[in-house]
Structure 1
Amino acid sequence: MFKTSLTLSSVIVAAMSGPLLAAETETSLPKLQLAPYLTVSGLSSGGYIAAQFHLAFANEVKGAAILAAGPVYCAKNDLMQALGNCMNQPTATPDLPAINQYLATQQAAGKLAPATALADSKVWLFSGSADATVLPQVSTALYQQYQQWIPKEALRFINDQPFAHHFPTKQAGFTACDKSESPFIASCNYDASGQLLSHLLGAIKPPASQASGQLVKLQQHQLAPAAAGQLAAEGYLYIPESCARGAACRLHISFHGCKQDVSQVGDAYIRHTGLNEYADTNQLVILYPQVEKSAMAPFNPNGCWDWWGYSGEHYATIDGPQLKAVKQLVEALRQ
């Protein structure tokens, strides 16, 4: 479908502790040897769409890590449901029976992967007990939802950390752990990236002290036309040196949260969650797709992934434009 010779802007990150290099070179995407084992993760709206992507393509996605998000199809195509039952309304909880019935119908119709495809997946869930944006009870509903599909030993739910709404890391210099502030990456002395990857992948090597791979800008509108009007023009791909040289590597997709795309926080999310350092030592390629904020048509002023229906009523199925678009990005990388 897509050729790996498509022109891309790449940035070789010689020192990931500094800003991205201003001078960019034109290159072709290295021919990657990607293993079939695909995993996903995401925070907040990124967590919602990571779970949606998992359910839609569970025949390929064998691991999902979701931070600070609720059950798939929680909003039921209704923004008010999203803002209430699926976020921070203390007196309400997601309507799991109705939600799960809808998902079962979609699975039976072939609009989601069959439930049996989820049985060999691993799932890691995280909810900070001080999260006031997506309340712990909402994330608990996601855990309860996954219990119907995922074996007990493959499903892990971390809900005992007193963290606010953010991606917790061991990196210094970011938001205090009890705060939920831009760029929504916090210094908690907690290695969420290492925790989630070790659960999804099994035994992993310690992270590199400093990421030294290649950060590549992807022309998303060209590679993923299914949602060209909703994705940002450019996404990002982190490629360790070993993967660029042709080693067999696994692909992991990391979805940013609301107000966390490059246009709003710069390269903070694509550099500072800790994923890239683990990628270097564990032969992982990290895809960082980017959604675009918009004031109207669609109404997405905070740059959130669609988990309530702004892209259309089928947003949580294989017909959802954003799910189709990210799938197209994956297919392009596998060419």
Structure 2
Amino acid sequence: MKSLRSAAICALAVTFAFTRAALAANALPPYHGDPSQTSVSGLSSGAFMAVQYQVAYSGSVVGAGVVAGGPYYCAAGNILNATICMGQVPFVPPNPALMVTAAAGFASLNQIDPLSNLKKARIYVFSGTKDTVVHQQAVDATVSFFEEAGVPQSNLLYVNSVPAGHAFIAPSFGNVCSDNAPPYINHCAIGKKKYDQAGALLKQIYGTLNPPAHSLSGRILPFDQREFATSATGMADTGFVYVPKSCDQGAACKVHVAFHGCKQSAAVVGDDFYANTGYNYWADTNNIIVLYPQVNASTIPFNPDGCWDWFGYTGQDYALKSGSQLTAVHAMVGRLLDKP
């Protein structure tokens, strides 16, 4: 009984803390950003979202990190296709050629940027061998999609031999490597070296970077997402952004968007994703602002697990530049790049 009472008190404390943060959230500030250096990444539904953002806005996005995510427009707006897109149907992987054809059609109608932009994109893809949620045959299709869409093999890094479960891999935080469990952040080692996924994907996108900070100089800011997205989009009231001290002081900074996975928003896991995945330590020493937009579970729209929309719950244009979530995040990036 005491343990149940303690758990209830903790849950109320977390709810109160995030309610207070939402009430205290201010408008997203503008910074002196570099519009030629925007990138994205994500886990699970966030990985699907990162693929959508990279493809839809390929003219302004230099690269993407895809951790346990399927190819662009895989579900084709139908939730019934989700199990195939997650690789959960044995011997029936997603067909990347169909998705490239769909993307080319959208591009011909100016609904997304031209696919020719992907020739210069730099892509990191990861699939753990112990992932029981998004299986490797789905992630294999993501790699094939990017290849068929024009990304040179020299610009693609596919990491698919780490015995990781369904999770983002942080150097020193979370569950053991093989877990497929909340908060969907694991720690793994390759040989005797801790695997730092944030650093791996950011280096794949940007090339040589300064080593990560030992301690952070910047600050995590909550901000009001309602300026960019109504509740009908499924997006939460409050998002978060990490701003290095150099960016606060006027440096021309890159913007990286990190999309959480299902059941991984701040309302569920607190600051685990936006504070403990390792992004901020790399950002701090490399003039990178990290945007952590948030989606919460909802009944209207029907999104019980708090996933980013990769199958059409916000409307059939979800994977296009007119899609409500893509539009909202793009506007947030635009704000961060707007010199005050």
> What is the TM-score with the length of structure 2 in the denominator?
0.88
Shift of 1:227: 6.5
Partner deviation per Cα, 1:191-224 (whole Å, 9 max, x = no partner): 11111111111110111112231111110111x1
Shift of 1:100: 2.1
Hey, what does 1:12 align to over in structure 2? none
Query: What does 1:21-40 align with in structure 2 at a 5 Å threshold?
Result: 31-36=30-35, 37-40=37-40
Matched, 1:198 2:203: yes
Q: Provide the secondary structure at the position in 2 that maps to 1:243.
A: helix
Q: Provide the secondary structure at the position in 2 that maps to 1:200.
A: helix
Shift of 1:82: 0.7
Q: Provide the secondary structure at the position in 2 that maps to 1:199.
A: helix
Matched, 1:225 2:229: yes
Shift of 1:319: 1.5
Q: Distance in 2 between matches of 1:180 and 1:323?
A: 28
Q: Distance in 1 between matches of 2:203 and 2:271?
A: 25
Higher relative helix content? 2
Partner deviation per Cα, 1:209-265 (whole Å, 9 max, x = no partner): 12231111110111x136754210000010011110111111000000000000110
Q: Structure 2: where are the runs of 5+ without partners?
A: 1-16, 189-193
- Structure 1 residues 29, 107: CA separation in 2 closer, same or farther (over 3 Å shift)? closer
Shift of 1:169: 1.6
Query: What does 1:1-335 align with in structure 2 at a 5 Å threshold?
Result: 31-36=30-35, 37-148=37-148, 149-172=150-173, 174-188=174-188, 189-222=194-227, 224-225=228-229, 229-294=233-298, 296-335=299-338
Hey, what does 1:5 align to over in structure 2? none
Q: Distance in 2 between matches of 1:83 and 1:256?
A: 20
Q: Distance in 1 between matches of 2:335 and 2:231?
A: 15
Deviating above 4 A after TM superposition, structure 1's stretches of 4 or more consecutive aligned residues are: 22-31
Q: Does the CA-based 8 Å contact 1:168-1:186 persist in structure 2? A: yes
Hey, what does 2:3 align to over in structure 1? none
| Paired residue type of 1:320 | G
| Paired residue type of 1:171 | S
- Structure 1 residues 169, 180: CA separation in 2 closer, same or farther (over 3 Å shift)? same
Number of aligned residues: 313
Q: Structure 1: where are the runs of 5+ without partners?
A: 1-18
Of residues 97-106 and 273-282 in structure 1, the stretch that sits farther from structure 2 once superposed is: 97-106
Q: Does the CA-based 8 Å contact 1:221-1:228 persist in structure 2? A: no
Shift of 1:99: 2.2
* RMSD of Structure 2 on Structure 1 (CA): 1.9
Shift of 1:83: 2.5
Shift of 1:302: 0.6
Shift of 1:119: 1.1
Hey, what does 1:9 align to over in structure 2? none
| Paired residue type of 1:191 | D
Q: Distance in 2 between matches of 1:39 and 1:320?
A: 19
Q: Distance in 2 between matches of 1:102 and 1:123?
A: 20
Identity of aligned residues (%): 36
